Structure 1
Amino acid sequence: MSDHREAPVMPVQAFEPPYYLAVFTAVRTADQDGYRETNARLEELVRSVPGYLGMDYAQSPGGPAITVAYFRDAEDLARWRTDAEHRAAQQRGRAQWYQSYSLHVAKVEHSHGFTRAEG
């Protein structure tokens, strides 16, 4: 979903399970007209979904882009999945922006993290 030019400094934190995630992996077409604007709007919109926890994004130059969105529960994720603007962007993505994509939804049952202390 994202078109970040810089990698985030920190990944999304580990949350207290259970929670849900959606992993969206895509290969884009050459025609990206309107993608950035739509993507910026969707990022703004998803932040307003109750239960939205955060997002991680990575892309290989010339390769697939991977976005992982985290939600507190299945209902929150369903709210995002069925949002009218999100649905319209999905249709445009299939028609114009994506060569291929996959979406995987999972319930997280274990989560932990690590941050190196500075100094």
Structure 2
Amino acid sequence: MSDHPETPVTPVEAFEPPYYLAVFSTVRTQDQSGYGETNARMEELVKDIPGFLGMDHAQTPGGLGITVGYFRDADALAEWRSHAEHRSAQQRGRADWYERYTLHVAKVERSHGFVRPSG
């Protein structure tokens, strides 16, 4: 979810199914006080969840943010959902940072990727 210009842009790799993903789409409020720090902390915490596979994030010029978290199994996703600091950040998000959001959770049954050969 970080915006680091020096980091090459690359999507999370395709994993062997089945696995789970959580698609979090947001429109944020004008006042984002504390959002960056909390977002960075959530990125640190989720990496410690056994079964966390990775995360993709995109932001449109119009303000739609989409974050996709990938998890090996439903237990890993449930552990993240119930993590105490994550729950607290969710409450703060509803109170301060989001105009609206949607969350979609899905089990991936098919996955593949492509990388253009260099040269």
Judge same fold: TM > 0.5, yes or no.
yes
Runs of 4+ in 1 over 3 A off after TM superposition: 5-8
Does residue 47 (structure 1) correspond to residue 81 (structure 2)? The answer is no
Q: Residues 8 and 78 from structure 1, CA distance in 2 versus in 1: closer, same or farther, beyond 3 angstroms?
A: farther
Could you say what secondary structure the match of 2:112 adopts? coil
Counterpart amino acid of residue 66 in structure 1: I
Q: How many residues align?
A: 118
- 1:22 maps to 22
Q: Residues 48 and 10 from structure 1, CA distance in 2 versus in 1: closer, same or farther, beyond 3 angstroms?
A: same
Counterpart amino acid of residue 95 in structure 2: A
* Alpha-carbon distance, 1:80 to partner: 0.2
State the alpha-carbon separation in 1 of the partners of residues 97 and 2 from structure 2.
Answer: 12
Could you say what secondary structure the match of 1:68 adopts? strand
Runs (5+) with no aligned partner, structure 2: none
* Alpha-carbon distance, 1:110 to partner: 0.3
* Alpha-carbon distance, 1:74 to partner: 0.3
- How well do the aligned residues superpose, as a CA RMSD in angstroms? 1.2
Query: Could you state the TM-score of these two structures normalised by the residue count of structure 1?
Result: 0.95
Counterpart amino acid of residue 4 in structure 1: D
* Alpha-carbon distance, 1:63 to partner: 1.9
* Alpha-carbon distance, 1:8 to partner: 5.1
Runs (5+) with no aligned partner, structure 1: none
State the alpha-carbon separation in 1 of the partners of residues 99 and 20 from structure 2.
Answer: 26
Q: Give CA deviations for 1:29-85 in whole Å, capped at 9, x if unaligned.
A: 001000000000000000000000000000012321000000000000000000000
Could you say what secondary structure the match of 2:91 adopts? helix
- 1:36 maps to 36
Could you say what secondary structure the match of 1:40 adopts? helix
